[in-house]
Structure 1
Amino acid sequence: MNLALLFEEDFIAPDCVRLSGRRLDHLKTVLKAGEGHRIPVGRVNGLMGYGDIRSLTDTEAELQVVLDQTPPAALPLTLILAMPRPKMFRRVLQTCASLGVKDLWLINSYKVEKSFWQTPWLSDEHLRENLALGLEQSKDTVMPRVHIRKLFKPFVEDELPALLAGKHALVAHPGMATPCPTHLNEPTALCIGPEGGFTDYEVGKLEEAGCQSVHLGPRILRVETAVPVLVSRLFDPCL
């Protein structure tokens, strides 16, 4: 936790917050913080700054906060991701938030098992928790938006073309002829398939919607590896 992310319910006054649970444990056991210590803080979807610990007990910490710094710029990226395996999903969420992805679409694919959509990690509570962990890691405050689409064809035919408008649209898939571009640094939409990749039919539908197919070389990467590799290849702020 390189920054304590503050939610509306943490504020007991305009410049004072009360922390408990995971963030309190981190203050005490990892940061070894005590009364009088200063730590980085940031308000969700707002400014960053610092908090001075006024009191610290076994159950809560009270901080006087000053918020006067803007968070880092978001990436100009719409990430369209086939729903990962639940055991991998948490890490992917945190990675996306850490990298500055603010627009994340979770979609279905033939190789996405139906059981993936039943994971409790898709609940609003768990989405917020894991996105917050990613923001705290990278010292950011702007919460990514997560959109869930469980039907592939209606999404690709009815929503995706408008979503791609004005963007450099890519689908990363093994075996394509064109390598993934570098230093793109412009509004981009990137589609990443499940383990094993999209089917040929799905790649074709994505291309019909306006995506260009690209590859990352001969190696087949796990989704949790492909996401940071592709994003850092496309955008200089990730280097």
Structure 2
Amino acid sequence: MNLILLDPDDIAADGHARVRDPRRLRHLHEVHRAAPGDELTLGVENGGLGRGRLLHLSSDEACFVVEQLDQPPPAPLPVHLVLALPRPRMLARTLEHVTALGVKHITLLHTRRVEKSYWQSPELAPERVREHLILGLEQARDTRLPEVTLATRFRPFLEDSLPDLLKGRRGLLAHPGMATPCPRGIDTPSLLLVGPEGGFIPYEVERLLEAGCEGIHLGERILRVETAVTALLARLF
């Protein structure tokens, strides 16, 4: 936790911030080994960054004197990530990784090779998704919470949502066997589509290309979803 991310309700009118949830308190005790007088990096959710001086720390509460939270968070990546829903354990890690890298718009998509049971996973509960997003923000010293949308049916996504998502964006379909290598260092707004383990089926690839997406690849190796997404984002941006 490289950032103590505060909810706006954590900050009182007197400029003191109080942290009471067990996870952040445990991290302050066990990882930071914080003590009264220490200065730590603070941020407020969807707001600015700054510093705070720890007044006291107990098993129940940490209290900080907050300095001005007027520093901007890191710039977001100009990308909307469309990710075929991974299996639950991989979903948790992937959400944390892409949030740390600066993705602010994520659509989780159902495709043929996505197990229907994945949509019943506790990892998709709003509070669990939020927890993984927060962990990614804390890692990267960011404060802007990503927006996550669920698209549980491929065809309605293709016909109803994809045309709007492609407006003003370059559509990039990452799939093994495509003709074009993944580009490097682009700065244009983009829509990046990544399939599940086993990839998109041929029908899905054909329809996405027909809709205006460009097919790209990362080479001959077949990568796990969480590895592929990280490699794609690093190479693209």
1:115 aligns with 2:112: no
Q: Which residue of 1 aligns with 2:13?
A: 13
Taking structure 1 as the reference length, the TM-score comes to 0.96
Distance 1:192 1:149 in 2: 14
Matches within 5 A, 1:11-90: 11-13=11-13, 15-20=15-20, 21-66=22-67, 67-90=69-92
C-alpha distance in 2 between matches for 1:164 and 1:22? 39
After superposition, residues 166-177 of structure 1 pair within 5 angstroms as 166-177=168-179
Distance in 1 separating the partners of 2:187 and 2:234: 10
Q: Which position in structure 1 is the counterpart of 2:167? A: 165
1:60-104 residue CA offsets vs partner (Å, 9 max, x unmatched)? 111111212100110000100000110111100000110000000
**How far 1:217 moved relative to its partner?**
0.5
Unaligned runs of 5+ in 1: none
| Partner Cα distance (1:98, 1:194) in 2 | 21
Paired position in structure 2 for 1:2: 2
Is 2:149 the counterpart of 1:147? yes
- What is the alpha-carbon distance in structure 2 between the residues aligned to residue 13 and residue 91 of structure 1? 36
Structure 1 residue 14, shift from structure 2 partner: 5.7
Query: Would you identify which runs of 4 or more consecutive aligned residues in structure 1 move more than 4 Å?
Result: none
Aligned mates of 1:64, 1:121 — CA distance in 2: 35
Q: Which of 191, 194, 198 is 1:192 aligned to?
A: 194
Taking the aligned partners of 1:14 and 1:134, their CA distance within structure 2 comes to 29
Identity of aligned residues (%): 51
Cα distance per residue 1:131-160 (max 9 Å; x no partner):
000000011000000000100011011110
| Matched AA of 1:53 | L
- In the alignment, the residues of structure 2 paired with residue 219 and residue 192 of structure 1 have an alpha-carbon distance, to the nearest angstrom, of 15
Range that drifts further, 220-229 or 56-65: 56-65
Let me know the Cα RMSD of the aligned residues.
0.9
**TM norm structure 2:** 0.97
